[in-house]
Amino acid sequence: MNGERNETALALHRKLSEIWGTPPGLGKLSAVNHTAVGLRFIVTSGIFFAIGGLLAMLIRAQLATSASPFMEEGLYSQVFTMHGTIMMFLFAIPLIEGFAIYLLPKLLGARDLAFPRLTAFGYWCYLFGGLMLIGALAAGVAPDAGWFMYTPLSSSIHSPGINSDVWLLGVTFVEISAVCAAVEIVVSILKLRAPGMSLARMPILAWYMLVVAGMMLFAFPPLILGSILLEVERAFGLPFFDPERGGDPLLWQHLFWLFGHPEVYIIFLPAAGVLSTLIPVFAGRPLIGYGAVVAAIIAMAFLSFGLWVHHMYMVGISHLAMAFFSAASALVAVPTAIQIFSWLATLTYGRPRFNVPMLYVFGFFFVFVIGGLTGVMLAMIPFDKQAHDTHFVVAHLHYVLIGGFVFPMLAAAYYWMPHMTGRFPVQHLSRAAFWLIFVGFNVTFLVMHLTGLLGMPRRVHTYAAEAGWDTLNLVSSIGGFVMTFGFALVLLDFVLQYRYGRAFPRNPWKAATLEWAMPLPPPVYNFASLPSVDRRADRIAPKEIGAHLAAGRGYLGFARNGQMETLGVSITSGRLEQLIILPNNTFLPLWTALGTASFFLAMLAKLYWAVPIAMLLVLFCALGWTRVTGSQADRGALPVGAGEEAPPHAECSGAPSWWAMVFTLASNATLYASLLFGGLFLWTSAPGWPAEEPPGMSLSLSALTAGMIAAGGVMGAAAVRRAGQGPRALLLASAAAHLAATLLLGWMALNGVPDRTGHALSAVCFAVLFYAGFHTALAAVFALYGAWRDATGLVSQRRNLDLRIGRLWHLYTAVTGVLGVAFVHLLIAMGSAGGAS
């Protein structure tokens, strides 16, 4: 009996491996599997971390003594700018993404994420964008205006070279991968879980990642918008930040920190999720205060969007307004403290074990608590007036980011490395490495608080001996090098583990989550069959469930038509809802990313004639993604094992791709709202308003345009109801209306706004009209695409997913387009010399 079962398990393993496997050789570049791509993210971010670390060593070498002759100021500014940029955008965020991509499906009982090709596309965008930045560093033309790129220093007058363009384009390229990952993570957590896993039964890390990915959806758009506007100002002369022409440098700071502060929590929360996962395991009991922790992280997410002004206490905002942000900044300590005391309670009610991951947990407590306390200090406006822009802030932010991110992620690395490699670490090295990092870190940064209070500003390449900062800086530099040795030992430790680590029993940590219910290193398909979850998913018994699943006794314990299949559930209850059929390995993500790279390179090389060609190339590649989706016939409910049935996702109302469009548009709406906010902000704050030569807009032409946008949107949306009974006429009419609207918007933008390089009012109007026109053009593509899908027999009353996704775009385009036209009129009326203002 047992032997027979093993034989079935083996046969199942072979069949599934064949379906889910990645081809060898160059075929590896076509991989879309989340385990493969997740590991690529993690390893790549590790390499960038090493580069960023080397830059930090250069900084410490430069500052070790006063009047150091090591680097001249131009090179030094590239080094510190790239250190910050790499650590934030090429290390921290991508590591979180890779970690989530690798782990989430395993934790949730799924075989992959919702959009494997998007995972791969995101990776390529990250890699290519990162290479752009590193290439610039190697060529000596790296960004040099500081990692927050304040204008006008980063504007073309003061940074005429391509350094700033490299930052704006490279980081935006990388951010595409962040937004892709955010959409994918949100949808995967909400839809791709094991049946029975309701939201309230999710492992706590899934809650953290859900909140983090949600924050990414809303935090990145302001930065992306800011980068686009600044690049447009640099490349085409449209003023948004130039105070001479109605722009305002403060707009950049608002957009940057509107991203930048949530970013800190986007980095901290996954690490806190690691702690909420590891501490219960090493306490030997489930997390205490699961509900309180979930509430705390949601509160933190909301609060984090109301704190950005605490980076801007020095810009001259009224004291009372700043007091609001000061209080909100202090308040964020509360949800943090709730988590810390939940962890302490979990430990005290358990039987804590001490080992290498727990050593890093100790490191977290020690370092992060100090960082949190100095954070509260900096939230106090009077103190910040002294400490702002000094080395005190440098010390604080490293305490928060290394304490709140690097230490927990090293704990995570030691905890999950056996999962990834199937081997156990060599312990002695691990402990020595920890102590080197821990001691080195504190030696570097504890004294740096004092250096800052003694008056040493950030970002100086040299200082006078009379300032009295020599000893402190030398101590910091020595500590920095000790810490580097620690990191090198960790790397060595990982390599040794990978090569010589000993084998270990399944579930070495006695964890109670699903990722340990699989053979290690994990098979490409994760689970030979999918579990059904009947309790909170951090209280399961991986050993028993693992054997049960490997034998194919759960859901989908079979191979069907060579399809990659996993299950979709209803969002809150976790009830089985749909059979999700995933796309296979393909080179399309790579080609699309290369197309996207050609767009960014054309912008960087100022080959503006090539930019539209590159955009068409990307569109063409993207349309190619749809070739393998869709079906010519309704299939209805299919058996999924365990005696249950579910319809394929394309026949379900809540298909993952529909939700993906919802979240993409929510993110897009944030970008649009930031643009409109920007226009209103300039009107209230920027010098040089009202404008002398406002754009002239014909009211009747605007009304016609708005009518066209609305008509195109309504017809495109209405086509869904005619799915299966000839929606084509409506779709073609919609496409025609959208194209007409695009032409009208183009005419308004080009003819109605002649002075667009002269004043920010015109530039904002042009940007809003361009946004609307870009969306109507894509809406026409959506309408034509729907008509084509219908013509090829891929649409029926049940299989109307393409049209429903299109409907979301049509409605979004209609609402934002009409709003945009109205906004332009409003802004002109308020912001022109003869207007109402």
| Contacts of another protein in 208-237 (CB under 8 A) | none
Q: Per the structure block, which two tokens stand in for 356?
A: 């290498």
Contact flag: residue 491 with another protein (CB under 8 A): no
Q: Can residue 463 be called a binding residue for another protein (CB under 8 A)?
A: yes
Q: How far is the CB of 98 from another protein (least distance, A)?
A: 30
Cβ–Cβ under 8 Å, residues 219 and 673: no
Closest CB 689 distance from another protein, rounded Å? 11
User: From CA 253, how far away is CA 231, in angstroms rounded?
Assistant: 15
Question: Of the candidates 459, 553, 560, 635, which one interacts with another protein according to CB under 8 A?
Answer: 459
Q: Per CB under 8 A, does 146 bind another protein? A: yes
User: Does residue 152 have a cis bond before it (omega within 30 degrees)?
Assistant: yes
Report the residue number, 136 or 686, with the smaller CB distance to another protein.
686
Site residues (CB under 8 A) for another protein, limited to 675-694: 686-688
Q: How far is CA 307 from CA 304, 320, 662, in A?
A: 6, 14, 27
Q: Distance between CA atoms of 807 and 279, rounded to whole angstroms? A: 46
CB of 713 to another protein, least distance (A): 39
Beta-sheet pairing, 638-641 with 644-646? antiparallel
Nearest to 603 by CA among 9, 106, 129, 212: 129
> How far is the C-alpha of 540 from the C-alpha of 196, rounded, in Å?
13
Contact 706, 257 (CB under 8 A): no
Nearer to another protein, 292 or 439 (CB): 292
**Three-state secondary structure readout of 204-249:** HHHHHHHHHHHHHHHHHHHHHHHHHHHHHHHHHCCCCCCHHHCCCH
Q: Applying CB under 8 A, does 77 fall inside the site for another protein?
A: yes
Residue closer to another protein, measured from CB, 112 or 165: 165
Burial environment of residue 572 by CB neighbours within 10 A (0 to 12, 13 to 18, 19 or more): exposed
Q: Binding to another protein by residue 250, rule CB under 8 A? A: yes
Q: Are strands 576-582 and 564-569 parallel, antiparallel or unpaired?
A: antiparallel
Q: Applying CB under 8 A, does 74 fall inside the site for another protein? A: yes
> Among 488, 489, 539, 491, which Cα is nearest to 514's?
539
Nearer to another protein, 380 or 496 (CB): 380
Which residue among 54, 65, 70, 366 contacts another protein (CB under 8 A)?
366
CB 731 within 8 A of CB 790: yes
Instruction: Work out which of 197, 238, 387, 646 binds another protein, going by CB under 8 A.
Output: 387
- 153 or 615: whose CB is closer to another protein? 153
Nearer to another protein, 719 or 760 (CB): 760
Shortest Cβ 159–another protein spacing (Å)? 9
Single residue of 43, 139, 373, 465 touching another protein by CB under 8 A: 373
Taking the complex as a whole, how short is the minimal distance between the CB of residue 131 and another protein, in angstroms?
26
Name the residue among 380, 394, 377 with its Cα closest to residue 447.
394
- Residue closer to another protein by CB (options 460, 829) is 460
Give the nearest distance from C-beta 764 to another protein in angstroms: 16
Q: Is the dihedral of CA 689, 690, 692, 696 positive or negative?
A: positive
Asked if 337 is part of the footprint of another protein (rule: CB under 8 A), the reply reads: yes
HSE, side-chain direction, 13 A CA sphere, residue 205: 27
CB-nearer residue toward another protein: 366 or 485: 366
* 616 binding another protein? (CB under 8 A): no
Binds another protein (CB under 8 A): choice among 112, 248, 263, 515: 248
Interface with another protein in residues 575-614 (CB under 8 A): none
Task: Compute the least distance from the CB of residue 151 to another protein, in Å.
Answer: 8
**# binding residues, another protein (CB under 8 A):** 82
Which of these ranges, 381-389, 695-703, 741-749, 781-789, lies near another protein under the rule CB under 8 A? Answer: 381-389
**Environment class of 612 (CB within 10 Å of its CB; exposed 0-12, middle 13-18, buried 19+):** exposed
Residue 140 lies near another protein (rule: CB under 8 A): no
Kindly state the smallest distance separating residue 567's Cβ from another protein, in Å: 35
User: Which residue from 10, 139, 321, 344 is in contact with another protein, where contact means CB under 8 A?
Assistant: 344
Q: Is 460 in the site for another protein (CB under 8 A)?
A: yes
Quick one: 315 or 605, whose CB is closer to another protein?
A: 315
Name the pairing type of β-strands 564-569 and 638-641.
unpaired
Among 12, 114, 272, 338, binds another protein (CB under 8 A): 338
Nearest CA among 44, 21, 41, 48 for reference residue 104: 41
Considering only residues 773 to 802 of the shown chain, the ones binding another protein according to CB under 8 A are: none
271-330: contacts with another protein (CB under 8 A): 288-289, 292, 296, 314-316, 319, 323, 326-327, 330
Candidates 39, 54, 58, 153; binder of another protein (CB under 8 A) is 153
**DSSP output for 604-621:** HTT-TTHHHHHHHHHHHH
Task: Give the residue among 512, 477, 625, 537 at the shortest CA–CA distance from 180.
Answer: 625
Those residues whose C-beta lies under 8 Å from the C-beta of residue 69, and which sit 6 or more positions away, are: none
Q: Residue 76 or 659: which CB sits closer to another protein? A: 76
Restricted to residues 395-424, the positions that interact with another protein (CB under 8 A) are none
- SS3 of 521-586: CCCCCCCCCECCCCCCCCCCCHHHHHHHHHCCCCECCCCCCCCEEEEEECCCCCCEEEEEEECCCC
Q: How remote is the C-alpha of 101 from its chain's centroid?
A: 11
Site for another protein in 18-47 (CB under 8 A): none
Give the Cα separation of 406 and 267 in Å (integer). Answer: 10
Q: Among 336-344, 474-482, 636-644, 726-734, which window interacts with another protein (CB under 8 A)?
A: 336-344
From 5-13, 432-440, 462-470, 590-598, span contacting another protein (CB under 8 A): 462-470
Q: Please state, in angstroms and rounded to a whole number, the distance separating the CA atoms of residues 239 and 245.
A: 6
Of 46, 237, 286, 352, the residue at the interface with another protein (CB under 8 A) is: 352
Q: Which residues, 6 or more positions from 574, have their beta carbon under 8 angstroms from its beta carbon?
A: 193, 194, 195, 196, 197, 198, 199, 201, 533
Q: Does 334 engage in binding with another protein (CB under 8 A)?
A: yes
Query: Tokens in use for 202?
Result: 């999710």
| Rounded Cα gap, residues 726 and 787, in angstroms | 9
Q: Does 150 bind another protein (CB under 8 A)?
A: yes
Q: Which helix (H) or strand (E) holds 644?
A: strand 644-646
Nearer to another protein, 314 or 822 (CB): 314
Q: Does 331 bind another protein (CB under 8 A)?
A: yes
- Do residues 122 and 176 lie in contact, with contact meaning Cβ atoms separated by under 8 Å? yes
Among 172, 277, 304, 342, binds another protein (CB under 8 A): 342
How far apart are CB 310 and another protein at their closest, in Å? Answer: 12
- Stretch of 92-100, 184-192, 457-465, 662-670 lying at the interface with another protein (CB under 8 A): 457-465
Task: Kindly tell me which residue out of 3, 25, 69, 382 binds another protein, with binding defined by CB under 8 A.
Answer: 382
Is residue 380 near another protein by the rule CB under 8 A?
yes
Q: Kindly state the smallest distance separating residue 208's Cβ from another protein, in Å.
A: 17
Measured from the Cβ of residue 707, the count of other Cβ atoms closer than 10 Å reads: 16
Q: Look up residue 548 and give its amino acid.
A: H
Tell me whether residue 151 or residue 813 sits nearer to another protein (CB atom). 151
Contact between 476 and another protein (CB under 8 A)? Answer: no
CB 63, min distance to another protein, A:
11
When binding is defined by CB under 8 A, the residue of 305, 383, 681, 788 that contacts another protein is 383
| 425-454: contacts with another protein (CB under 8 A) | 450, 453-454
